[in-house]
Amino acid sequence: MRPTRPVAKRTGPYLPHPGLACPLILVPVLLVAFWPVWRWYLARMADGSDEPLGLIALLTAAAFLPRRGWRGPIGTRALIGAIAALAFHLVGFEHLPALVRAALAVGAIVCVLPRDPARSPLPLIALLLLSLPLIATLQFYLGYPLRAVTTWCAAHLLALGGQAVAAHGTVLQWAGEEVLVDAPCSGIRMLWTSCYLSATLAAVHRLPARRFLRLARWTAAVVFLANLARTILLFFLETGQWPNPPWAHEAAGLAMFLLAAVACVAAAHHLRRPTVASLP
């Protein structure tokens, strides 16, 4: 007869080590805890103050969520991060802007989502942040500074080309005429679309965090240069130095956007290549 080994009895609730819970439980809990954020989100999407582009980013982020790991344990650090984000939301509810509270909600949910070890979480975080109603807020806070910087740079580049142009705020003055760099020419929509494209490509190509940050910096630089080129093109069109058919304004913006998108795609394709170490 084989000796029987004593079976240890388990008392109390069993929590798998090192996790403390699973996303299948915590994600619904956080969705309920941040319910004022979702109410504000739906109100912003319906009041006409912002384009519903965030829904595209939200659906894209959902497509990259891992299919497994929803019943596995969550690490202690991730759980502490989610609790800290929820605490900041509760403590600063009456003082923090709604967009900041929404970013805290996104951060808390990202902390408890299952991780795909083959993917960096940064593209997913970027897509979730882009799903928030950002365009109207960015246009309000960054629209004028971006237009002023673009106008100043365009005036100096045109002056180097022999044009007697002066920049006053967001207005280009030339030969008694004024060309206004208005709000749609700030580049905010182009920046949002290019950031969405870059985050999606980074998720598709499984770029590591460092390469994704390089792609993000490249995207910001390309968008600024594309918007600057659009401003210079519109200067020649609006002052009558070049033919200006009715469709020229929109065509110039579309052409610069397509060039920026092609540059982002080429950069993502280049960064996905493995780094080859040099042999001695």
pLDDT at 118: 79
Q: What are phi and psi of 207, to 5 degrees?
A: -70, 140
- The answer to whether residue 237 is domain-embedded is yes
Query: Looking at the structure, do residues 39 and 103 belong to the same domain, yes or no?
Result: yes
For 223-265, what is each residue's pLDDT tens digit? 999 999 999 999 999 998 999 899 998 999 999 999 999 999 9
Query: Looking at the structure, do residues 140 and 110 belong to the same domain, yes or no?
Result: no
pLDDT band at 267 (very low <50, low <70, confident <90, very high): very high
* Residue where one domain finishes, among candidates 53, 88, 118: 118
- The answer to whether residue 130 is domain-embedded is no
Predicted confidence (pLDDT) at residue 185 exceeds the cutoff of 80: yes
Q: Using the Cα atoms of residue 25, residue 77, residue 102 and residue 119 in order, give the sign of their dihedral.
A: negative
pLDDT band at 25 (very low <50, low <70, confident <90, very high): confident
DSSP characters for 97-134?
-HHHHHHHHHHHHHHHSPP-TTS-HHHHHHHHHHTSS-
**Mean predicted lDDT score pLDDT of the chain:** 87
For 84-99, what is each residue's pLDDT tens digit? 999 999 998 889 999 9
Indicate the SS3 state at residue 208.
coil
Predicted confidence (pLDDT) at residue 55 exceeds the cutoff of 70: yes
Out of 148-162, 183-197, 263-277, least confident range: 263-277
The Cα–Cα gap between 271 and 250 comes to 32
pLDDT at 20: 60
Query: Looking at the structure, do residues 32 and 107 belong to the same domain, yes or no?
Result: yes
Of residues 274 and 174, more confidence is placed in 174
% residues pLDDT > 90 (the chain): 62
Q: What is the helix (H) or strand (E) element at residue 75, kind and residue range?
A: none
The Cα–Cα gap between 187 and 208 comes to 28
User: Mean of the pLDDT values across residues 44-67?
Assistant: 84
pLDDT band at 165 (very low <50, low <70, confident <90, very high): very high
The Cα–Cα gap between 128 and 178 comes to 41
- The answer to whether residue 243 is domain-embedded is yes
Predicted confidence (pLDDT) at residue 218 exceeds the cutoff of 60: yes
pLDDT at 53: 82
pLDDT at 35: 94
Domain count, the chain: 2
First to last CA, the chain: 65
Q: Give the domain range for residue 88.
A: 23-118
List the structure tokens of 46: 């319906």
CA angle 14, 86, 69 (to 5 degrees): 45
pLDDT band at 51 (very low <50, low <70, confident <90, very high): low
| Contact criterion met (CB below 8 Å) for 79 and 21 | yes
pLDDT at 73: 78
pLDDT at 57: 94
Quote the DSSP letter at residue 7. P
Query: Looking at the structure, do residues 177 and 230 belong to the same domain, yes or no?
Result: yes
Out of 11-20, 21-30, 44-53, 268-277, least confident range: 11-20
CA distances from 147 to 139, 140, 175, 257, 271 (A): 10, 12, 21, 17, 31
Query: Looking at the structure, do residues 175 and 247 belong to the same domain, yes or no?
Result: yes
pLDDT at 94: 86
Query: Looking at the structure, do residues 149 and 109 belong to the same domain, yes or no?
Result: no
| Contact criterion met (CB below 8 Å) for 73 and 134 | no
pLDDT band at 279 (very low <50, low <70, confident <90, very high): very low
Query: Looking at the structure, do residues 142 and 263 belong to the same domain, yes or no?
Result: yes
Query: Looking at the structure, do residues 103 and 188 belong to the same domain, yes or no?
Result: no
Query: Looking at the structure, do residues 92 and 147 belong to the same domain, yes or no?
Result: no
The per-residue b/e assignment along 197-232, b for 16 or more CB within 10 angstroms, e otherwise, is bbbbbbbebebeeebbeebbebbeebbbebbbbbbb
Predicted confidence (pLDDT) at residue 18 exceeds the cutoff of 60: no
* Residue where one domain finishes, among candidates 118, 144, 176: 118
pLDDT band at 2 (very low <50, low <70, confident <90, very high): low
Q: Which residue has the tokens 């594309």?
A: 226
